[in-house]
Structure 1
Amino acid sequence: MNSHGSAPAYGVRIEDFPANAAQETLQVADLIVAYLEQLGIDYIFGIPGGAIEPLYNALARSSRRGGPRPIVARHEAGAAFMADGYTRETGKIGVCCATSGPGATNLITGVACAFDNSIPMLVITGQPSLPSFGKRALQESACTGIDTLGMFRHCTRYNSLISHPEQIESKLITALQRAVRTPCGPAHLSIPLDILKTPSPVQVPSYDIGDKLRPVSLLDPEATDELLGLLRRARNVRLLIGGSCGEAVGTILQFATRHDIPFVTTPDGKGLINSRHPLYCGVFGFAGHRTANALLDDEAVDLVLAAGTSMNEWTSSGWSDTLLNEKLVHIDESAEHLARSPMARLHVHGRLLSIFTRLIEHSPRPQNAGCASIDLPAPRCSHEDMLAAPRQYNSPTSPITPQRLMRDLGRLFPPKTRFLADAGNSVAWSVHYLDPANRRHLERRLGNDDQRRDSGRRRSAGGWLRLTMDFAPMGWAIGGAIGTAAGNAQTPVVCITGDGSLLMNGQEISVAVAEELNVIFVILNDQALGMVKHGQRLAGAERIGFQLPATDFAAMARAMGADGHTIRSPQDLADLDIAAICHRRGPTLLDVHIDGEEVPPMNLRMRVLGTDL
């Protein structure tokens, strides 16, 4: 079923269109939308323009019959960020589009971000009509102009120009398959104007595309059995849960609990688990916790299982030998990720859900397997023991400390809230200090038959905390939060971002206003590009280029039609009616004046840059 409550259409018929002389047959653009409707995709995020107008005409017709409709961004990069957020929330392919020329180039930052974070995405850009190629048509971006196809080649998994209507089905299906197959990421189709409005070569989609996009249960049984042997011989096992574990995290936690294996997460894996789980010992990597480093650095540890992690700078703690050594078993679906741990004792390549299901089914039964559920062990680490600055976490001072802000956000918002942390200090404070309360310790328990009670899958693989790794553009969370809310209107979405990011991308708030989306934008207002400022101070560098003018962001929000509140103290935050804010039809902005002298937990970044003192 799609979001409008009707069964997804497997074809679009002539009678679906209003009778008029100008529209007698389906166009190529209608066929594209029909395939997206098959997949249950609700929205296409983008900005219209002349070269892509037929796609918007098709979306207008689709909207009238309850199919996919457009959400108009304010900048094309924001459209790509929205598609990213939509994918993380729904598990569906995010779709974004732009016109030719500058529309396409504006998309590239958001597409590159999705590529670096392995986010499935379909990217559609327009071109002038084929006969005008090479004639300096307005906004020409073919190989004879500003070659956007060449630009997208470096940040997509599939990239092609549609030069004939008969190509559309095969290339569209290939693009969607490449988007979701590991390593997944964006797939780009560049389509000339005349092709988009050409009569479709077929009047209904020729294929049931859903069958072609189902995940494959890839499993290396020999490597998995070798891992079972290592587990039987190991005395002190540790587990690292990465950001790619979303689909399988319930099964992974079941495995850890069954065998009493303490675990840590990568920064992007933190949102997949409950930070009060008794076996959880913190975040390993950027903005992480000393308890996590101590757990993996213990000399008594003889085996470390790292699942679903890319081994990039942030997730490996700057390629630290605390993780990257002969004790490591790297488990991942991506061969690209496995290539970054050549020193590992064992690589297990395959779908994480299949691998951990096999580990549970073939490992020795726990002593209490006949019980209705496995008893949880005593907590190994208290939350406040993990924190670098517990006093500031509870500080009553004004302006509010960022540590205290993270504490209050976790306590004030309901358990199902989605938090998105933007690039910069926002992600550092969130990874280290944000701690939502009242979440389940386990996704599921073992029954008395010692078997899983369900498939181990979540509806959303995104987790409660979402962030962007590697490419990390400022403002990602602003658009990402809007896409998240579009994908799920039943839960509040909190975007934690900085004043620099808001000045760069804050115009997207008006999209949340137009769509009446419940997004709460929390602005860390320190009148600075905070990570630049603190990085310069920690490195003893020249202090330059970080200052921002005093800005009333609450007034800016109200000018766009959102609610706006200025927060200067913990009491100001406590006085808000959070329940009402979470049920508001539309966005709210909290302009939080933080103590800008508090130093974020960014020492790892300084060490990798070679500028730590």
Structure 2
Amino acid sequence: MNPRPKKTLADLLIDYLAQLSVDFVFGIPGGAIEPLYNALALSMRNSGPRPILARHETGAAFMADGYYRQTGKLGVCCATTGPGATNLLTGVASAYENRIPLLVITAQTALSLFGKGAFQESSCTGINTVSLFGHCTRLSSLVSHPNQFEPKLINAVMTAFRSPAGPTHLSIPWDILGGPAPVDQPSYSLPALLNRDRSFDPGTLDQLVQEIVRARKSVLVVGAGCGEAVEPIATLALKLNAALVATPQGKGFVDPYHPLFRGIIGFAGHASARAALTDPDVDTVIGIGSNFSEWASNAWDEGALLNERLIHVDSDADHFARSPNARLHVHGNIAAIVAHVLDRLADARPSASSRVRPGLSAREAMGLELDEAVKSHSPAQPIKPQALMRELANLFPPSTCFLADTGNSQAWSVHYLHPRWEQGHPRGWTDARYHCAFEFASMGWAIGAAVGMALGARGEQPIVCITGDGSLLMSGQELTVAVQERLPVIFVLLNDAALGMVKHGQRRAGSEAVAFELPAIDYATYAQALGAYGQVIHALDDLRALDVPALCRRPGPTLLDVRIDAEEAPPIGMRTRVLGAER
């Protein structure tokens, strides 16, 4: 094969990804995006970024999402023109709602063919994909000339990481992507341009410190935006002797064994968390890095959260629209704000009139609740999901990262999964021990995201994906990517032959019981047919008998087909209350 005579625009794109130490581009090839795959083939031979072949474009976006969560590096996904691009939309929308920085590259037919009804045309005169992505990205733009590429790419990457973070989209026609690049080497250094903004408003910081010093008793609420500030927040809680509560989105940042932790507030949360927030002695609630959406605010709970006791600290000013009753909004880099508060409190003594009373930690209280839930369980019965969550936390090492899929997998894991932690606190977002795709809540997200996380982990951290049979039937084909890449992902399948949240939601709401049944399938055999290791788990003893260290080292995925008690109702009362109120 003759070498290409000149660097293409696609080659230049790969050079920029290499600057950012991006390892993978997740996607599916097609005619219009073939120039990018030609560049990736050359890059792969030179140990640069390489392609990961997803089975569906939505799965590619989920993988890029998981890769960012694991590494902190830009997630990159791509698709060809037309249906390839539209297939990406759900995964990109999920990343948008969860503030995940992605670079999304889609192709177009050649510029000269715009408006002529070319095969899979998605220009402004066809199915306008630039416009479609404009509704679920921070930036969506067409590159219509080679000289536009570098400034548009720089803008896209910087916008992806700028608060509010999220996906950005560039659509590049086939002839531009495969044509000669205007320069032989990148004109800019992207890493030098991506210094994080660590600014904040000094005036509101002064007010924050004054409020903390005056407070009789405080509660700290940890949200999804706390990844860069986990350690200083824990230090602040200890200094103030303040109870720690997490939203479901912030669950992965808080050690469930921490003596000040009082549980999760919001979807599938704990009575202990709401009790801590509604304690009449509490006069200050500091919500940090939370969007206070339905699931994070306990369905807009004005008694516990959204009231005049709240001080809302966030790097994303858009979130303040959800806390209009807060007595103070503090905008800026969360890590910088908390660090400066700690410095200012070094010489100040917060009020000590009312401290957190000693008693059961949230972990102990939730353990008692779990014992009560499963006390009647016998080996002859299907596995109680509550007991399954406890066993998973005990079986897997403290370094394990758990992902939970949309549906009952989320509900059971938010409430009952309390992983053991290593000594000390995590360092940031990439050390979170629990991840969900809340907000947009796409079924099947965790399956693709687990593959992306495992690629980023490089075998150094166990990755466990908790999913349901409904999600697997939507996105189970991505299991073959883990097979092909020899990734030791453990998929824990909650097999109840139903769309469980739909089924139990209908029951709670008194609705018609309809369209939730799924066929009884042996998913262990299904996994084996795909090249993975599969095993049916009928009882907890089957789970305890597993050689977990061997599964975590296995050069390929494992699927545990867990036959759970299909009649056990998940903790989804908050969600059904909201739906009932709407009706």
- 1:610–1:586 distance in 2 versus 1, CA, 3 Å: same
> Which residue is equivalent to 1:339?
321
Superposition pairs of residues 210-221 of structure 1, within 5 angstroms: 210-221=191-202
Whether contact under 8 Å (1:241, 1:308) holds in the other structure is yes
**Partner residue of 2:542 out of 572, 576, 592:** 572
Whether contact under 8 Å (1:539, 1:611) holds in the other structure is no
**Partner residue of 2:43 out of 62, 67, 89:** 62
The CA distance in 1 between the partners of 2:45 and 2:221, in whole Å, is: 48
Instruction: Using the TM superposition, give the Cα deviation of residue 381 of structure 1 relative to its aligned residue in structure 2, in angstroms.
Output: 2.2
Q: Which amino acid aligns with 1:362?
A: R
**Partner residue of 1:487 out of 456, 470, 477:** 456
Q: Which amino acid aligns with 2:435?
A: R
**Partner residue of 2:340 out of 358, 379, 382:** 358
- 1:468–1:393 distance in 2 versus 1, CA, 3 Å: farther
Asked whether 1:437 is paired with 2:420, we answer: yes
The CA distance in 1 between the partners of 2:546 and 2:421, in whole Å, is: 21
Instruction: Using the TM superposition, give the Cα deviation of residue 440 of structure 1 relative to its aligned residue in structure 2, in angstroms.
Output: 3.0
The CA distance in 1 between the partners of 2:109 and 2:461, in whole Å, is: 41
Q: What secondary structure sits across from 1:510 in the alignment?
A: helix
- 1:580–1:179 distance in 2 versus 1, CA, 3 Å: same
> Which residue is equivalent to 1:312?
293
Q: What secondary structure sits across from 2:286 in the alignment?
A: strand
The CA distance in 2 between the partners of 1:393 and 1:410, in whole Å, is: 16
> Which residue is equivalent to 1:427?
410
> Which residue is equivalent to 2:310?
328
CA offsets 1:329-355 (integer angstroms, 9 cap, x no match): 000000111121111000000000000
The CA distance in 2 between the partners of 1:571 and 1:365, in whole Å, is: 55
> Which residue is equivalent to 1:383?
363
- 1:514–1:464 distance in 2 versus 1, CA, 3 Å: same
Q: What secondary structure sits across from 2:338 in the alignment?
A: helix
Asked whether 1:301 is paired with 2:270, we answer: no
> Which residue is equivalent to 1:84?
65
Q: Which amino acid aligns with 2:185?
A: V
Instruction: Using the TM superposition, give the Cα deviation of residue 87 of structure 1 relative to its aligned residue in structure 2, in angstroms.
Output: 0.5
Instruction: Using the TM superposition, give the Cα deviation of residue 442 of structure 1 relative to its aligned residue in structure 2, in angstroms.
Output: 3.8
The CA distance in 2 between the partners of 1:165 and 1:380, in whole Å, is: 64
Q: Which amino acid aligns with 1:77?
A: T
Superposition pairs of residues 444-483 of structure 1, within 5 angstroms: 457-458=427-428, 460-461=429-430, 463-483=432-452
The CA distance in 2 between the partners of 1:116 and 1:221, in whole Å, is: 29
**Partner residue of 1:174 out of 137, 147, 155:** 155
Whether contact under 8 Å (1:281, 1:380) holds in the other structure is no
Q: Which amino acid aligns with 1:410?
A: A
CA offsets 1:1-45 (integer angstroms, 9 cap, x no match): xxxxxxxxxxxxxxxxxxx65511100000000000000000000
Q: What secondary structure sits across from 1:118 in the alignment?
A: coil
> Which residue is equivalent to 2:395?
412
Q: Which amino acid aligns with 1:466?
A: H
The CA distance in 1 between the partners of 2:545 and 2:404, in whole Å, is: 24
Instruction: Using the TM superposition, give the Cα deviation of residue 148 of structure 1 relative to its aligned residue in structure 2, in angstroms.
Output: 1.1
> Which residue is equivalent to 2:227?
246
> Which residue is equivalent to 2:533?
563
**Partner residue of 2:386 out of 403, 409, 412:** 403
Q: What secondary structure sits across from 2:155 in the alignment?
A: helix
Q: Which amino acid aligns with 1:93?
A: L
Whether contact under 8 Å (1:42, 1:67) holds in the other structure is yes
The CA distance in 2 between the partners of 1:199 and 1:393, in whole Å, is: 65
Aligned-pair RMSD on alpha carbons? 1.6
The CA distance in 2 between the partners of 1:597 and 1:59, in whole Å, is: 49
The CA distance in 1 between the partners of 2:255 and 2:86, in whole Å, is: 39
Q: Percent identity?
A: 54
Asked whether 1:510 is paired with 2:492, we answer: no
Q: What secondary structure sits across from 2:441 in the alignment?
A: coil
Instruction: Using the TM superposition, give the Cα deviation of residue 260 of structure 1 relative to its aligned residue in structure 2, in angstroms.
Output: 1.0
> Which residue is equivalent to 1:551?
521
Instruction: Using the TM superposition, give the Cα deviation of residue 386 of structure 1 relative to its aligned residue in structure 2, in angstroms.
Output: 3.0
> Which residue is equivalent to 1:14?
none
Q: What secondary structure sits across from 1:339 in the alignment?
A: helix
> Which residue is equivalent to 2:251?
270
The CA distance in 1 between the partners of 2:97 and 2:9, in whole Å, is: 31
Whether contact under 8 Å (1:182, 1:334) holds in the other structure is yes
Superposition pairs of residues 87-102 of structure 1, within 5 angstroms: 87-102=68-83
The CA distance in 1 between the partners of 2:169 and 2:117, in whole Å, is: 23
CA offsets 1:471-525 (integer angstroms, 9 cap, x no match): 1010000000000001112111000000000001000000000001110000000
- Counting helix residues as a fraction of each chain, which structure ranks higher? 2
Whether contact under 8 Å (1:247, 1:461) holds in the other structure is no
Q: Which amino acid aligns with 1:475?
A: G
Q: What secondary structure sits across from 2:411 in the alignment?
A: helix
Q: Which amino acid aligns with 1:69?
A: R
Instruction: Using the TM superposition, give the Cα deviation of residue 380 of structure 1 relative to its aligned residue in structure 2, in angstroms.
Output: 4.8
> Which residue is equivalent to 1:197?
178
Instruction: Using the TM superposition, give the Cα deviation of residue 378 of structure 1 relative to its aligned residue in structure 2, in angstroms.
Output: 5.6
Further displaced range: 298-307 or 254-263: 254-263
Alignment: residue pair count:
572
Flag structure 2 segments of 5+ consecutive residues without an equivalent. 350-355
The CA distance in 2 between the partners of 1:461 and 1:221, in whole Å, is: 29
Q: Which runs of 4+ in 1 moved over 6 A?
A: none
Asked whether 1:116 is paired with 2:97, we answer: yes
Further displaced range: 475-484 or 255-264: 255-264
Q: Which amino acid aligns with 1:439?
A: E
Q: What secondary structure sits across from 1:610 in the alignment?
A: helix
The CA distance in 1 between the partners of 2:435 and 2:571, in whole Å, is: 18
- 1:393–1:207 distance in 2 versus 1, CA, 3 Å: farther
Q: What secondary structure sits across from 2:494 in the alignment?
A: strand
Q: What secondary structure sits across from 1:461 in the alignment?
A: helix
Whether contact under 8 Å (2:230, 2:425) holds in the other structure is no
> Which residue is equivalent to 2:352?
none
CA offsets 1:71-118 (integer angstroms, 9 cap, x no match): 000000000000000001100110000000000000000000000000
The CA distance in 2 between the partners of 1:308 and 1:208, in whole Å, is: 30
Q: Which amino acid aligns with 1:538?
A: R
Q: What secondary structure sits across from 1:329 in the alignment?
A: strand
The CA distance in 2 between the partners of 1:51 and 1:480, in whole Å, is: 26
> Which residue is equivalent to 1:5?
none
Instruction: Using the TM superposition, give the Cα deviation of residue 611 of structure 1 relative to its aligned residue in structure 2, in angstroms.
Output: 6.0
The CA distance in 2 between the partners of 1:517 and 1:442, in whole Å, is: 27
Further displaced range: 523-532 or 206-215: 206-215
Q: What secondary structure sits across from 1:543 in the alignment?
A: coil
The CA distance in 2 between the partners of 1:465 and 1:396, in whole Å, is: 29
Q: What secondary structure sits across from 2:430 in the alignment?
A: coil
Q: Which amino acid aligns with 2:372?
A: R
Whether contact under 8 Å (2:144, 2:172) holds in the other structure is yes
CA offsets 1:441-484 (integer angstroms, 9 cap, x no match): 545xxxxxxxxxxxxx43x4351000011110100000000000
- 1:269–1:379 distance in 2 versus 1, CA, 3 Å: farther
The CA distance in 2 between the partners of 1:470 and 1:594, in whole Å, is: 26
CA offsets 1:265-311 (integer angstroms, 9 cap, x no match): 00011111110100000000000000000000111111000000001
> Which residue is equivalent to 1:610?
580
> Which residue is equivalent to 1:498?
468
Whether contact under 8 Å (1:278, 1:377) holds in the other structure is no
Q: Which amino acid aligns with 1:129?
A: A
Instruction: Using the TM superposition, give the Cα deviation of residue 60 of structure 1 relative to its aligned residue in structure 2, in angstroms.
Output: 0.5
Instruction: Using the TM superposition, give the Cα deviation of residue 178 of structure 1 relative to its aligned residue in structure 2, in angstroms.
Output: 0.6
Whether contact under 8 Å (1:393, 1:407) holds in the other structure is no
Q: What secondary structure sits across from 2:95 in the alignment?
A: helix
- 1:319–1:569 distance in 2 versus 1, CA, 3 Å: same
Q: Which amino acid aligns with 1:542?
A: E
Asked whether 1:261 is paired with 2:231, we answer: no
Q: What secondary structure sits across from 1:168 in the alignment?
A: helix
Flag structure 1 segments of 5+ consecutive residues without an equivalent. 1-19, 368-375, 444-456
